[in-house]
């Protein structure tokens, strides 16, 4: 009978139960936290890239058409650096990576028989992950791309 009493007492003992539950739940919570952090980083980087695109297209739309080489350089600096100077750091670290690219095109849209020039800039920037191994673990390519575009019609003074 003492053996059954010992097993019964062991079965009812609650000490250490919270530590065992924490050991099971903590990795799940950490995993969810990492996913939330990476998702926020994607949103932030896309927002910053969009801000640069907006500045570049607005500058190009207010410049004399066709754009001169100096104006195109300033547009590129505005898109990538957020400033007209090439000495400023990149807006996002992805601009330093292979595969980062942007293109500037001008096209004319017909507005009731009047051609209106429209500036379009498309940027493709690799995502700079905080935890790149997390992406690989889930079979996602480490070179995820953020691709954004912005258009602005020509503004004649």
Interval 103-145: pLDDT, tens = 999 988 888 888 888 999 999 999 888 877 776 776 666 678 9
Lateral strand order in the sheet of 145-153? 101-111, 114-126, 145-153
pTM of the model: 0.79
Please write the tens of the pLDDT for every residue from 3-18. Answer: 777 667 766 666 777 8
Beta pairing class for 145-153 and 101-111 = unpaired
d(CA 18, CA 14): 8
Question: DSSP H helical segments within 63-93, as ranges?
Answer: 69-81
CB 102 within 8 A of CB 122: yes
- What span, in angstroms and rounded, lies between the C-alpha atoms of 6 and 63? 87
Domain boundaries, the chain: 19-153
- 134 closest CA partner among 21, 33, 25: 33
Instruction: Give the whole-angstrom CA distance, residue 40 versus residue 132.
Output: 15
pLDDT above 80 (res 99): yes
Beta bridge pairs of residue 122: 103, 149
Is residue 95 over pLDDT 90? yes
* Triad 96, 97, 101: Cα angle to 5°: 85
| Percentage of the chain modeled with pLDDT above 70 | 89
């Amino acid at each position: 009978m003492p053996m059954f009493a010992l097993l019964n007492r062991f079965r009812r003992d609650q000490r250490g139960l919270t530590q065992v539950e924490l050991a099971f739940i903590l990795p799940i919570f950490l995993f969810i936290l990492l996913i939330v952090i990476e998702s926020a980083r994607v949103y932030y980087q896309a927002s910053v890239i969009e801000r640069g695109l907006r500045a570049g297209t607005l500058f190009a739309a207010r410049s004399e058409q066709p754009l001169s080489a100096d104006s195109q350089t300033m547009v590129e600096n505005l898109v990538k650096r957020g400033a007209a100077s090439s000495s400023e750091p990149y807006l996002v670290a992805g601009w330093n990576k292979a595969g980062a690219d942007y293109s500037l095109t001008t096209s004319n849209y017909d507005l009731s028989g009047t051609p209106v020039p429209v500036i379009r800039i498309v940027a493709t920037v690799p995502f700079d992950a905080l935890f790149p191994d997390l992406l690989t673990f889930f079979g996602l390519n480490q070179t995820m791309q953020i691709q954004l575009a912005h258009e602005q019609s020509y503004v004649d003074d």
